[in-house]
Amino acid sequence: MNIPEKMKAAVLFDYNDLRVVEKPVPKPGKDEVLIRVKACAICGTDPKIIAHGWENCPPMGEYILGHEYAGEIAELGEGVTKFKVGDRVAIEPHKGCGHCVNCLRGYYTTCLNYGKLEEGHRHYGFTVNGGYAEYAVCHINCCHRFSEKLSYEDATMLTTAGTALYGIQRAGGIGPGETVAVIGPGPIGLMAVQLARVLGAGKVILVGTRDSRLAIGREVGADVLVNSRNEDAVEAVKRLTDGVMADMVVETSGSAAGGAQALELCKKSGRVALVGIYSEPVTVNLNKVVQWNMQIAGGKAEGEDVLDRLVPLMESGQIKTGPLLTHAFSLDDINEGVRTYKERIGNAIKVVIRP
Ligand SMILES: [Zn+2]
Ligand SMILES: [Zn+2]
């Protein structure tokens, strides 16, 4: 593959100052590959980083964001045998140091050496450069191969689905025939609905506040839609479960109301997966967790091997991305893409940048 010296990249020069400029194409080191980026989806954290930066991020003027990307391997670094040039790969942003006790136990998304480059930790698009560029370097631990059955845009959604699946697993999974309530019909919530279906849920209830997004929930497999603006979600779930409530609640909204509601929708000895990012403290009734024997787990990003297991689910169409991928922009128009995502112009759900 012919690799140029220079590439186009969206670089953060200062807070709220993202510019597309020329940069040298990075070189892959040991156990790394160079990826020709084909698609990079805008994540909810990206507009926040553009506005406020990220702790341990590369210096302003050098920092390339983007952590939900997919592309084609263009060059192999030293020692790489697992991949070959031309492979289609999706990346996951977290690479643990590999030697702390959490990494040894498989909890690399909560690596104890977070941000320490000298220890081998990488958080692509956060502490090191990511995918809003024509080329990006990534460690092989974070690359996941997929076939031509998936487009590069589809593959950017693997991390979104991965966050939902990892949270569900951490909270104890979903059993056949169980009732699952998903709070928040955003990208992660709409993936959680589909995963609940795939995992054999008997009834999937989707709770949200926007009818347009709830309607997409129906399209991807929710049985019952509850708009909590018009209807009390607790009463609705009570009615739908004969007062028993949901076996599993997946909270993806990240709102204080959603966080508190998660416990109220859960049945005795039920399970709650928290995967939303809360920007304010949430008041919950912890006594309920004790007395109702609940199991609650937080899920930090897409840990373990969830991405590799999601590839066949997407390739076979059991997990759909189409209804969620609403907008695409070229790299030159990245600022317009970010604005479209942030302001939800044209009911934007997932916005993809194509370098
Ligand atoms: Zn993300
Ligand atoms: Zn570690």
Query: For residues 243 and 246, what is the distance between their CA atoms, to the nearest angstrom?
Result: 9
pLDDT string in tens for the chain (355-residue length): 689 999 999 999 999 999 999 999 999 999 999 999 999 999 999 999 999 999 999 999 999 999 999 999 999 999 999 999 999 999 999 999 999 999 999 999 999 999 999 999 999 999 999 999 999 999 999 999 999 999 999 999 999 999 999 999 999 999 999 999 999 999 999 999 999 999 999 999 999 999 999 999 999 999 999 999 999 999 999 999 999 999 999 999 999 999 999 999 999 999 999 999 998 999 999 999 999 999 999 999 999 999 999 999 999 999 999 999 999 999 999 999 999 999 999 999 999 999 9
Tokens of 287: 């006594």
Q: Which ligand is nearest to the CA of 116?
A: 2
CB 325 within 8 A of CB 150: no
Task: Count the alpha carbons within 13 Å of 262 in the hemisphere toward its beta carbon.
Answer: 32
Q: Which ligand is nearest to the CA of 100?
A: 2
Dist. CA 45 → ligand 2 center (Å): 22
- CB-based contacts of 295: which residues, under 8 Å, 6+ apart? 171, 172, 269, 270, 271, 272
Dist. CA 331 → ligand 2 center (Å): 33
Structural domains of the chain, with CATH: 6-157+324-354 (3.90.180.10), 162-298 (3.40.50.720)
Cα dihedral sign, 157-163-166-169: negative
Q: Is 106 helix (H, G, I), strand (E, B) or coil?
A: coil
Query: For residues 179 and 224, what is the distance between their CA atoms, to the nearest angstrom?
Result: 11
Helix, strand and coil in the chain, % to nearest 5? 30, 30, 40
Q: Which ligand is nearest to the CA of 105?
A: 2
Q: Return the number of other C-beta atoms located less than 10 Å from residue 78's C-beta.
A: 9
DSSP sequence for 138-166: EEGGGEEE--TTS-HHHHHTHHHHHHHHH
Dist. CA 240 → ligand 1 center (Å): 33
Residues with CB under 5 A from ligand 2 (ion): 96-97, 100, 103, 111, 113
Q: Which ligand is nearest to the CA of 161?
A: 1
Radius of gyration of the chain (CA): 20
> What DSSP state is assigned to residue 63?
B
Question: What is the residue type of 273?
Answer: A
Tokens of 38: 């084909």
Q: Is 20 helix (H, G, I), strand (E, B) or coil?
A: strand
Cα dihedral sign, 165-169-170-175: positive
Query: For residues 5 and 28, what is the distance between their CA atoms, to the nearest angstrom?
Result: 13
Dist. CA 119 → ligand 2 center (Å): 8
Closest listed residue to residue 47, CA positions, set 355, 354, 256, 348: 348
Dist. CA 104 → ligand 2 center (Å): 7
Q: Which ligand is nearest to the CA of 109?
A: 2
CB 160 within 8 A of CB 351: no
Closest listed residue to residue 170, CA positions, set 59, 295, 254: 295
CB 292 within 8 A of CB 269: yes
Dist. CA 90 → ligand 1 center (Å): 13
Q: Which ligand is nearest to the CA of 159?
A: 1
pTM of the complete model beyond 0.95:
yes
Dist. CA 123 → ligand 2 center (Å): 12
Dist. CA 68 → ligand 1 center (Å): 6
Query: For residues 93 and 130, what is the distance between their CA atoms, to the nearest angstrom?
Result: 8
Q: How far apart are the first and last CA of the chain?
A: 17
